[in-house]
Structure 1
Amino acid sequence: MEYEQAREEEQDNNAPLIHSEHQKRRETAKEDEICLFTDAAISAKMKRTGQGIVARNWKGKIMRAKGIVNQYKGVPSKEEALAIRNAILMAKHVGWTKIIVHSDSKSVIDQINRSNDYEYNIATILEDVQELRTHFESCRFVFIPRSENEISHTLTQFAVKLVYDIEWEQDFPSWLMVLVRKEMMVVALFCN
């Protein structure tokens, strides 16, 4: 609960700026860029963590999705950083060369974009992220509010209940496609 409260407060403080930043991001995504949306969740009750990664092309079409589960009690910033690193590893494995990584963890995104002064508990993970980003023609990291990261958040909630990791490349579950269509309709209304 503390984790969720801290994230909500972080998002509320940045709400006016976030809306204009998100609108700008939608306009600047290029045809050959893949947008990776990441999120992480912790279930203290089950002593598990989950990560959700959703890859979409510049038009919003879902390209790949992955749910990752770990059997331990996690730390929020570490889990968010791991989700970002796993998204980059997935993109590298698939062969994408231009990516934009979106996360609703402002502190982790800020640390990545500053490229130094990392929190001690995630320093090694963020150093990995910095090294991995060199394998891409273009690799950007962008903070988005939770309200714009609902698909990966829902996937994360699903992942935390899994026994094994799961990944989809072409045939996506219907509940995931419903969320994508719903979001695309909202974006279409917003942009028109």
Structure 2
Amino acid sequence: MRTVMAEDRCLRCGQEGEDSFHVFYLCPTTKEIWSHLNFSWIFNSHMDTWSWLTWVFSQGTNEQCRNFCCGLWSIWTNRNKLLYENRSNASWDISKQIQSYILELEGSRERVLIEGTSARSRQSSQRGKNAIFFDAAFDLKNSRSASGLVVCNEEGKIVAAKSTLHEDIASPFTAEAVAGLQAARLGIQLGFHTLDIIGDSRTVITKCQNTSRDKSKIGAIISDIQSLKDQYRRIRFYFIPRSENKEAHSLARETLKKGGEQYLEGETRSSRGEMVPNHRVSSE
């Protein structure tokens, strides 16, 4: 049965009216909690609740803001337990609860990072000798796109790069699918028997991995990609984040901006990670 409050005084301290600013800032128990968590710096007088919260989030680091939110949540949860369940915890116990929850969050984040790194390592070790990274840049106003293709050997060294302009492109997804098709065609032109095609469009990569007929708006392009699989002994498609596809992304954007297609061989990386052409085969 819920407790009915006869007055609006704080159940913890009984000193004054219980509004949100009192619960999270003024209550002596709350002040002790913030002190235990090394958050004494958040006390800034002559503020209302909204101004105080805005100030804290503007002053704190990302980690401090995250921990501060955990503290707010726990303080409110314990306030409700006292009100509705008559269960009271000391400020030190509440502080411990908050610290435990923060450690649990950090542990979960570390597990995600470790699992992501392990997955990328496994994916890298499974890749074949030849790989083509692809990306697209899209111009909505002019319905144009550019494909950026970067060819790498098993050591990850860039050995060729190609960019192509396309007209009458309906959407970014179409642009990505066209770039994937260009990658499959380039592998055949280079005489590859095995190839890994790698891009940062999860939708396009997933459709290329499937063997069933795609009925979406880019289904015809996906069908063209699927039809080229028979010309390889083995072809595989991998998704990577945009941050790991910078060369193809930069090539596509530069081509769309400047309007000049190109095909380069003997690429290497500069000290800044940019592509440097050793030998220009053709420029269109």
Corresponding position: 1:179 with 2:274: yes
Separation in 2, partners of 1:57, 1:141: 16
- Which structure 1 segments of 5+ residues have no match? 1-14, 182-192
Separation in 2, partners of 1:144, 1:180: 19
TM-score (norm 2): 0.52
Alignment match, 1:153? 249
Corresponding position: 1:40 with 2:139: no
Separation in 2, partners of 1:166, 1:99: 22
Deviation at 1:77, TM superposition (A): 1.2
* Displacement over 3 Å in runs of 4+: 15-20, 71-74, 172-178
Deviation at 1:178, TM superposition (A): 3.4
Alignment match, 1:56? 152
Alignment match, 2:124? 26
Separation in 2, partners of 1:174, 1:23: 21
1:1-192 to structure 2, matched below 5 A, reads 18-30=116-128, 33-45=129-141, 47-72=143-168, 74-170=170-266, 172=267, 178-179=273-274
- The percentage of counterpart residues that share the same residue type is 26
Q: CA RMSD in A?
A: 2.5
The AA in structure 2 aligned to 1:97 is H
Confirm or deny: 8 A CA contact 1:42 1:74 kept in the other structure: no
Deviations 1:62-94, CA, capped at 9 Å, x for gaps: 121011122445411111111011011011011
Deviation at 1:177, TM superposition (A): 8.1
Separation in 2, partners of 1:176, 1:155: 17
Separation in 1, partners of 2:270, 2:166: 23
Richer in strand (by share): 1
Deviation at 1:103, TM superposition (A): 0.8
Q: State which drifts further: 40-49 or 91-100.
A: 40-49
Confirm or deny: 8 A CA contact 1:109 1:141 kept in the other structure: yes
- Say which SS state the counterpart of residue 78 (structure 1) adopts: helix
Separation in 2, partners of 1:176, 1:126: 37
Deviations 1:80-121, CA, capped at 9 Å, x for gaps: 111011011011011011100001111111111122252421
Distance 1:168 1:76, change over 3 A: same
Separation in 2, partners of 1:111, 1:118: 7
Separation in 2, partners of 1:133, 1:123: 16
Deviations 1:25-66, CA, capped at 9 Å, x for gaps: 222234xx2111000111235543111000100101112101
- How many residue pairs get aligned? The number is 164
Q: Larger relative contact order (C-alpha < 8 A, sep ≥ 6)? A: 1
- Which structure 2 segments of 5+ residues have no match? 1-111, 277-284
Larger Rg: 2
